Amino acid sequence: MKRSEYILKRTSFAIATIFVAITINFVLFRMMPGNYASQIRAPHMTAQAKQALISEFGLDKPMWEQYLLYLKNLTHFNMGTSIVNEQPVWPQLMQALWRTLGMLLLGTTGAIVIGTLTGVIAAWRRGTRTEHATVISALAFYAVPTQWLALMLYVYAAPRLHLPIQGITDVFASYQGWAHVTDVLRHMILPALTLCLTLYGEYTIIVRSSMLETMGEDFILTARAKGFPQRRVVWSHAMRNAMLPMVTMVALSMGYIVAGALLIETVFTYPGIGFMITESVFNSDYWTLQAGFLMLTVSVIFFNFVADLVYFKLDPRITE
């Protein structure tokens, strides 16, 4: 299979999957009891006003017409209006997504660096106390519930490190320039640290397992037979091939974390997409929930697509 054929095939599969996700998202929320108007808690709203809202959003039309209208609105990035603040959902969703991605990038980068280093060291020092300590620590953090770890950092780490525990900026200060950037980063530290500690153990185990398998390959034995130092064999020869499973794990984690950060953002009241969805559940914000779930689904599909392309770059043999 040629490179262009492989890319075209994976792109077509990703687009088809997104279309299926859009359709399922539409059907699931239409199966929920009630509708947009029935969720509005306004005791003085008349029946005529509620009927006007139903007509405005096309909820009185046949299902197939609602579906076509839904697809049309998506092409214009129109995902409805929030019940809570009566503002368009799309700008609010994108703002929350960028906040989550910032925290995600910080936490995941730390997890990848720490997990890769500890995984390689564990494989390199196999059978030693270093390996046992590394693996046990990784498994412990991997097994700890995310919300529990977030609460421990909230209660014990934040006061000692003098770090903020909620929001994304100090509401009582009007920082500008680099002071504002520093303030945002300080508010990201605890959520990102929680994410880092939760993920790094998984990366450690995957890298260690992959390294042990790679270290038994013929090309590694050839490198050793040539007299290359052990350090060079591990870091220069085994590392690249051992990182292939890591690509999939990172891609899957990126898609999962956008959704999995929900618990972390809730604990720290971090105004990302996870916290936005949590608030929408409690407020029965129909349109925000629908847009949020669609965004999470698309993020998983997108990062898997990126993983396929990176896999091809690292190992062209997958097209054979």
**CA 317 from chain center: how many Å?**
29
- pLDDT of 36 reads 57
Question: Cα–Cα distance between 136 and 156 in angstroms, integer?
Answer: 23
* CA separation, residue 90 to residues 5, 17, 94, 160, 274 (Å): 34, 22, 6, 38, 15
199 neighbors 111 (Cβ within 8 angstroms): yes
3, amino acid identity: R
Query: Mutual orientation of helices 89-124 and 273-283 as an angle, nearest 10°?
Result: 130
Higher per-residue pLDDT: 210 or 234: 210
Across the chain, mean pLDDT equals 79
* Lowest-confidence segment of 46-55, 60-69, 188-197, 277-286 by average pLDDT: 46-55
* CA separation, residue 134 to residues 119, 143, 154, 235, 249 (Å): 8, 14, 25, 18, 19
Instruction: Give me the mean pLDDT over the 252-270 stretch.
Output: 74
- pLDDT of 42 reads 54
pLDDT band at 317 (very low <50, low <70, confident <90, very high): low
Question: Cα–Cα distance between 103 and 192 in angstroms, integer?
Answer: 5
SS3 285: coil
165 neighbors 154 (Cβ within 8 angstroms): yes
For 32, how many CA atoms within 13 A lie in the half-sphere containing its CB? 19
pLDDT band at 320 (very low <50, low <70, confident <90, very high): low
- What's the topology of domain 96-284? MetI-like fold (1.10.3720)
User: pTM (2 decimals)?
Assistant: 0.76
Q: Domain coordinates of the chain in residue numbers?
A: 96-284
* Lowest-confidence segment of 15-19, 91-95, 166-170, 260-264 by average pLDDT: 260-264
